[in-house]
A and B are shown apart, each in its own frame.
Chain A
Amino acid sequence: MLLIQCPWCGRRDESEFSYGGEADIARPENPDALNDAQWADYLFMRSNRKGHNREIWNHQHGCRRWFVAERDTVSYEIQATFPMGGQEQDS
């Protein structure tokens, strides 16, 4: 089980969190202007990185807030967690 540093609540068990997938995927500002391939890229295509990864988690059974984690997808080590759009904090 991972120990995850929630930026607001501190270090908690993984079972309190839910995983939100790849970070930094912004909804297109004007979806009507996109063609099908661009929309498919936003909706479905993922980087699925091996190694260093930026991803979002939700502290579902805690403060219920979303945050960003930097985690290695091979060693599973969490290098840092910080609020959405915020500054890096020690993990």
Chain B
Amino acid sequence: MEKYSALKLIRHALESNRKWPRAWRRPEPAKQYDAVVVGGGGHGLATAYYLASQHGMRRIAVLEKGWIGGGNTGRNTTIVRSNYLWTEASLLYEKSLQLWETLSQELNYNIMFSQRGVYNLGHTLQDMRDIERRVAANRLNGIDAEVVSPEQIKAAIPIINTSRTARYPILGASLQRRAGVARHDAVAWAFARAADALGVDIIEQCEVRGIDCEGGRVTGLQTSRGSIATGRVGLVVAGHASVVADMAGLRLPLESHPLQAFVSEPLRPLLDTVVMSNAVHGYASQSDKGELVIGAGIDAYNGYGQRGSFHTIEHAMQAMVELFPCFSRVRMLRLWGGIVDVSPDACPIIGKTPIEGLYLNCGWGTGGFKATPGSGWVLAHTMAHDDPHELNAPFGLDRFTTGALIDEHGAAAVAH
């Protein structure tokens, strides 16, 4: 792996940038691996990276049906935060946020992590009670959080409409200053490059078509590029988790929905933080290119089509114009959808399955991006030790049988 540095930038510039090496190899799949991660999104690549870097495993493959950065990793609104209500969830997301803080240095790749703060707006008295409760819970868990007034919001974000006569007036917000955004596809590229440098085979255009099991344990995979023998398989396939798990006869408590987002034409800098509103349901930030990045809610119906209904984005747009009247004549440039796997309690499923050697990492729903490094961290631990890390132990599939759900649906800041 060629180390990236300012000096290298200059040297390659002098060579007209013609001699940059590939960021990762393009290997043929081997016949056998010690561990295989199915799904080459951010979570899967992070899992492979930490398997190699933290647990000293070698002979690891990541199988990706499409290309690196082409799935949900490149389709989200890039928000990173850890201000969840329940202790189990907030500790998991906080671990992730701590990994984000040093990730560029660790991976030697500028993932453009920008801790510009995230405001979660409250529009009703009940919103404000929930916000105060969540901020208090965050502080008890050592997570930075504060309640801010409409005046403080207006001072920080002059373009926001804090008028008392608005249809849904802003009564306050929670603010996590350490939260922010990151360059989403750079995260996938960075993990792919760093994992590759540790010997991980990243195999793109390789679709898993079957999971071989014998005597209750996994023995290998059937793929579009031949069979691969392995005793450990991590399924990290987001929206298609139910489809792939079904190959091993597993039923999951998931429903896949389209989730849409869109960006505007580039504007001069006017929003230097992230604003999310649960009540009117929309969230916005401004990318370094100047585009407003805006996310909608999920479409109501199950879908695998990577697109959704127009009234869903219209609804999100109404919320944005309500919050930021100056956006009303901004043109939207691109619109896309991703498929999110929503679990009954809005928390992920990470851990072992009834099939030995088969591990799950799914159910992140609308909010998986922020957890990318932490998700890989705990799944790598689970796969290496055949036992969950203490951070993901509460997130096992068995919680739906025991009833120990972690209900972040109404309690979290929801929009992601």
A interface with B by C-beta (< 8 Å): 1-2, 13-15, 18-19, 21-22, 36-37, 40-41, 43-50, 53, 55, 71, 73-76
Contact = CB atoms under 8 A, between A and B. Distances in A.
Dominant secondary structure of chain A at its interface with chain B? mixed
A16 to B, nearest CB: 10
Contacts of A15: 311
Contacts of A47: 242, 251
Contacts of B242: 46-48, 50
B252 interface: yes
B344 A44 contact: yes
Given A1-B311, A18-B300, A50-B240, A74 B305 contact: yes
B311 A36 contact: no
A73 B254 CA distance: 14
Contacts of B302: 19, 21-22, 48-49, 53, 55, 73
30 contacts: A1-B309, A1-B310, A1-B311, A2-B301, A15-B311, A18-B300, A19-B300, A19-B301, A19-B302, A36-B401, A37-B401, A41-B251, A43-B400, A44-B253, A44-B400, A46-B251, A46-B252, A46-B255, A48-B242, A48-B302, A48-B341, A49-B302, A50-B243, A53-B302, A55-B302, A71-B301, A73-B302, A74-B305, A75-B305, A76-B305
B16 interface: no
A47 B304 CA distance: 13
A35 to B, nearest CB: 9
A3 B89 CA distance: 39
Nearest to B241: A48
A48 B254 contact: yes
Contacts of B83: none
A23 to B, nearest CB: 11
